[in-house]
Structure 1
Amino acid sequence: MRDGEGTPSAVGHLPEEVAGTRRFPSFTARETNLAMVLALLAWTVAVFDYGLFGTLLPAMTEDFGWTPEQSYLINTLIAVGTAVVAFGVGPVIDRLGRRRGMMLTIGGTAVASVLTALIPARLGLVSNAAMVAIRSLGGLGFSEQSVNATYLNEVFSVTEDRRKRERRGFYYAWVQGGWPLGFLLASALALVLLEPLGWRALYLVATVPALVLVVVIGRKLRETPQFELQHRLQQMRRAGQAAEASTLAAEHGLEVSEESPLARIFGPGLRRNTVVLSLAWIVNFFGINIFSVLGSSILANAKGVELSAAFWMLVIINLGAYFGYVFHGWLGDRIGRKRTIVIGWMVSGVAFAAMLSPLVSTPALIVVTYAVGLFFLVGPYAAILFYMGECYPADCRGTGTVIIGAMSQPGTIIGGFLFTALAAASSTGTAALWVGALGTFLSGVLMLWAKPVAEIRHQG
């Protein structure tokens, strides 16, 4: 047996009658549905906290006395800290497990939310440094989507629910749709609570569901049998039972490697997609940071929309974006996930360029073009995150998905500095066009070099 580029796996050294003779314990339909619901809630709550910063940035800018350019810089510096945190999550997920990984990421979200509410304003560098440090913990919450992708990829492989086994991308899309739902929730609550209670109260509100979910996940969510086997194999190898571990892995059709998960994802057969997907995430997050995270600032500063009206617009826009996930998950099952991602991101770049043009000036046109852009910008993440999980074997799946997902933060950093510099030199609209819209389109072009999953052969 060989992987995508012809490198022999450990399974290939064992007799054919041994390999793949044992099956993993299955997930019942009820357990699968519970896993999907908890994963959706976890991702929505994580995005709620993550999205609050961008949604509330205009209000926080006034409270902290920042200029628009300073607020963009603060957002970029937070991305630097977020990257440091997010890069450390991947190997942890392959060691602690998918369930504990979900608890860790959501727990980090709760801590980040409550501490953000306590940051004092008007203390200059002290306030700014505290904001950057505390909001960097958001890297834990942001990594939750990669944990979801890893977890559900393995659950759908062993579920008794035939529909979910056969249409994995479509069902995963409902979960990944927590991104626009989280932003919708942030916008809706800001619309209702910002004026009477202030921005700090919204962060305290975000803390409660995160803490509740940590408890529920710890009690109700089942670990995947793939990780449980990998954990057992590691224990056997540490106990000097390497031969027995290899046989047990082969009986389940798993690849065995003594390399670390990080080395594995850059090894033969996996390296190309690791590099291509990482670059695509970096460039695509130019657009994500500008049009999704900083949506209220773009509408206010680039299109002259009042802040209260911007919140209303973003509620409508993000509601439509949720169905972008469902559409792209469905489409990925039919025409291939890679092709779906390429088409979606190219269309999104064109739509955002149209939205930023002087020809689009009425509220209705702004909402329509922005909604189309966001539909095709975030929707393909339903395809790409599940595609990432399919690219890697079980022993490095968590590391691969989280490391690539963490590349969003270098994208936010690079794109943030470019956006801030160009906005200061010209205008927010010009910066959003040349950094956000163009970056989104180019990320679709980069995906043309990714290797289709059909060419990547591994088990587990």
Structure 2
Amino acid sequence: MNPNDHRAALADIQVTAQDVKFSTIVCFLAWTFAVYDFVLFANLLPVIAQDLGWTAAQTTGINTWVTIGTALVAFFVGPLVVDRMGRKSGIVIAVTGAALASGLTFVAGWMVGALGVLGLVLLILIRSLAGLGYAEQSINATYLNEMFSHVDRKNGGGASRGFIYSLVQSGWPVGSVIAAASIAILQPLGGWELCFIVGVFPAFIMMALGKKLKESPQFRARQLVTQWRSQGHTAEAEQLAREYHIGEETGVSPLKAAFSGESLRPTLTLSAAMLMNWLGILAFAFQGTLVLTSGKQVNFNDALTILIISNATGFLGYLFHGWLGDRIGRRNTIALGWFLAAFAFAGMLWAPNGSYGLVVALYSVGLFFLIGPYSALLFFNAESFPVETRATAGSFINALGQVGAILGGVLFTIHLSGLTQESAAELISSTWINAALIWGTVPILLSAALMLLARDVRPGRQS
């Protein structure tokens, strides 16, 4: 090998602390934009259902079909994009897909009423594209874990990487607050369809910023190792592989490798925990407006206010759990948070209807401990796998969250199937509360217990 070519290739791998700061900001914006579109549809469900005359069971049923499509799209991002085309490309594709879903939802909204069942199918297919936006969080976790690790290895840092990532993951409550605010402002002006227009513009911003991102050093190193091995430059390839903890090419697909060797235990435990927890996410985050309006008999505008307040609290939850995970370990932090979330939501559901202040307080505490641990979880996922399977395993686990949402949607639909728009308000309220208790709080408790079965990983481990 030409020494100059060798040095140039190695120089291309290097990233600076400034590169990492820029990547962190871009990932935060990408996740915020993706979340805006992803939660907008769920928050608007009560309005969409009323506008189109859906029953409670029809509403949850349609949302379930949307979730199925979302899961399929989110799953294929890891194996087909991030572990093959690169982390940088994955970020841009995910946000662009979310923006496309928003724009097309605006168009589909006008067609649902005119086309009947065909319009519903079109709406479900379009909303499935939101799976690209949902996949953004696992891409961010993989990408930033590798960027932080590279710089920490050179500078001897790493003690606060979880807290820094929590700032990125806090794009969830930020995006949720922006979504709720846009509903409050735009929906009275032009109907629910107008709210989705806002989600189109981030695509242009991310295309511009994405060109300036540096690719992950580990991904570039893996590309070089593969290239040099195929060219017969074995010594250089093995030296680089040792430096970046890259294993031998086995010919096994990343998905199959995620279910073997050291990856098997984290794949199984984290997937099961994610699946169970997302039943709770569906109940209290995505169907939060439905639980509050139908279950706790809060009017829609007050429900939006509660969402804004609770998501602002959730922002603090991300920072707290990111900080705590750096100190007591991410696995224990996640499990503790989810145990407390289940108790808070149970208290909120059992609180007397009309006790607005208590509902706000307990719902906010619940979201603080339900979504806050995700700032530790997504980073914990990335730390639990070798570079060869990291993005694929992360995408698989992430997609299992959507499977949990699908399961939750089916269970909610069955539980609510006896209700009609003419049912008594008291019957609707008690049925929704029972459904949220059984299919929301109990799965959150199970997810906390499952997290304790995962292999603990020392915070700041170099990967």
TM-score past 0.5 threshold: yes
Cα distance, 1:377–1:313 mapped onto 2, change above 3 Å? same
RMSD, aligned α-carbons: 2.1
Partner of 1:267: 260
Instruction: Specify the code of the residue in structure 2 equivalent to 1:105.
Output: A
List per-residue Cα deviations over 1:132-168 (Å, max 9, x = no partner).
1110111111000000000110111122696962211
- Per-residue deviation, residues 344-364 of structure 1 (Å, max 9, x unmatched): 001101110110014464111
Match of 1:217 among 210, 214, 217: 210
Alignment of 1:57-96 (within 5 A): 57-91=45-79, 92-96=81-85
State how far apart, in whole Å, the 1-side matches of 2:47 and 2:311 are. 20
Are the equivalent residues in 2 in contact too, given 1:24–1:226 (CA < 8 A)? no
Could you tell me how far apart the structure 2 residues matched to 1:250 and 1:128 are? 53
- Report the equivalent of 1:12: none
- In the TM superposition, 1:39-58 aligns within 5 A as 39-58=27-46
Q: Deviations over 1:289-315 (max 9, x none)?
A: 111111111111111111111111111
- Tell me which residue corresponds to 2:438: 434
Alignment of 1:128-143 (within 5 A): 128-143=120-135
Query: For 1:159, what is the secondary structure of its paired residue?
Result: helix
User: Which residue among 321, 331, 341 is the counterpart of 1:338?
Assistant: 331
C-alpha contact (below 8 Å) 1:391/1:456 kept by paired residues: no
Distance in 1, Cα, partners of 2:406 & 2:84:
28
Aligned residues: 437
Instruction: State the partner residue of 2:249.
Output: 257
1:101 aligns with 2:90: yes
- Aligned residues of 1:24 and 1:158 also touching (Cα < 8 A): no
2 CA distance for matches of 1:448 and 1:321? 23
Partner of 2:162: 169
1:14 aligns with none
C-alpha deviation, 1:200, in angstroms: 1.3
Contact 2:331 2:456 in 1 (8 A): yes
Tell me, in whole angstroms, the C-alpha distance in 2 between the residues paired with 1:151 and 1:456.
15
Consecutive unaligned residues of structure 2, counting only runs of 5 or more, are 1-9, 419-429
- Mean alpha-carbon deviation: is it higher for 142-151 or for 427-436? 427-436
Measure how far apart 1:232 and its partner are. 1.7
The alpha-carbon distance between structure 1 residues 456 and 41, as it changes in their structure 2 partners (threshold 3 A), is closer
Aligned partners of 1:158, 1:383: CA distance in 2, in Å? Answer: 19
The AA in structure 2 aligned to 1:438 is: V
**What residue is the counterpart of 1:16 in the other structure?**
none
Query: Counterparts of 1:376-395 in structure 2 under 5 Å?
Result: 376-395=369-388
Q: Determine helix, strand or coil for the equivalent of 2:297.
A: coil
Distance 1:217 1:195 in 2: 35
The answer as to whether partners of 2:277 and 2:447 remain within 8 angstroms in 1 is: yes
Q: What does 1:363-378 correspond to in 2, within 5 Å?
A: 363-378=356-371
For residues 56 and 69 of structure 1, the distance between their equivalents in structure 2, rounded to whole angstroms, comes to 16
Question: Is the 8 Å Cα contact of residues 117 and 203 (structure 1) preserved in structure 2?
Answer: yes
C-alpha contact (below 8 Å) 1:187/1:314 kept by paired residues = yes
4+ residue stretches of structure 1 with deviation over 6 A?
none
Shift of 1:373: 0.4
Equivalence for 1:453: 457
Asked if 1 retains the 8 angstrom alpha-carbon contact of 2:40 and 2:179, the reply is yes
In 1, Cα distance between equivalents of 2:28 and 2:460: 28
Q: Deviations over 1:419-451 (max 9, x none)?
A: 121133571111011101111111101111101
Separation in structure 1 between the aligned mates of residue 185 and residue 194 of structure 2, nearest angstrom: 12
* Residue 32 in structure 1 maps to residue 16 in structure 2: no
**1:242 shift after superposition:** 5.9
**Structure 1 residue 246: deviation in Å?**
3.4
The code of the aligned residue for 1:344 comes to: G
Determine the C-alpha separation between the residues in 2 that align with 1:303 and 1:162.
Answer: 52
Does the C-alpha gap of structure 1 residues 385 and 23 become closer, same or farther in structure 2, counting only changes over 3 Å? farther
Q: Quote the Cα distance in structure 2 between the aligned partners of 1:401 and 1:30.
A: 26
Q: Which residue of 1 is the match for residue 227 of structure 2? A: 235
Given the alignment, which residue of 153, 167, 174 partners 2:145?
A: 153
Aligned equivalent of 1:410, options 384, 403, 416: 403
Task: Please say if residues 25 and 158 of structure 1, whose CA atoms lie closer than 8 Å, have aligned partners that are also in contact.
Answer: no
CA distance in 2, matches of 1:53, 1:271: 35
Q: Secondary structure at the match of 2:335?
A: helix
Question: What is the CA-CA distance between 1:83 and the residue it aligns to?
Answer: 1.3
2: CA distance, partners of 1:47 / 1:384? 17
Q: Separation in 1 of the partners of 2:231 and 2:414?
A: 56
- Give 1:125 shift: 1.1
Question: Which residue does the alignment assign to 1:180?
Answer: 173
Preserved contact between residue 150 and residue 397 of structure 1 (Cα < 8 Å)? yes
TM-score by length of structure 1 reads: 0.90
CA contact (8 A) 1:344 1:380 kept: yes
Aligned partner (choices 386, 398, 406) of residue 391 of structure 2 = 398
Q: 1:291 to 1:115 in 2, by over 3 A?
A: same
Name the CA distance, whole Å, in 2 between partners of 1:234 and 1:99: 19
Secondary structure of 1:206's aligned partner: helix
**Identity of paired residues, percent?**
42
Deviation at 1:234, TM superposition (A): 2.6
CA distance in 2 between partners of 1:165 and 1:207 (Å): 36
Superposition TM-score, scaled by structure 2 size: 0.90
Gaps of 5+ in 1: 1-21
Secondary structure of the residue aligned to 1:79 is helix
Question: Pairwise mapping of residues 241-390 of structure 1 onto structure 2 (< 5 A)?
Answer: 245-258=237-250, 259-359=252-352, 361-390=354-383
In 1, the alpha carbon distance for the partners of 2:44 and 2:16 equals 42
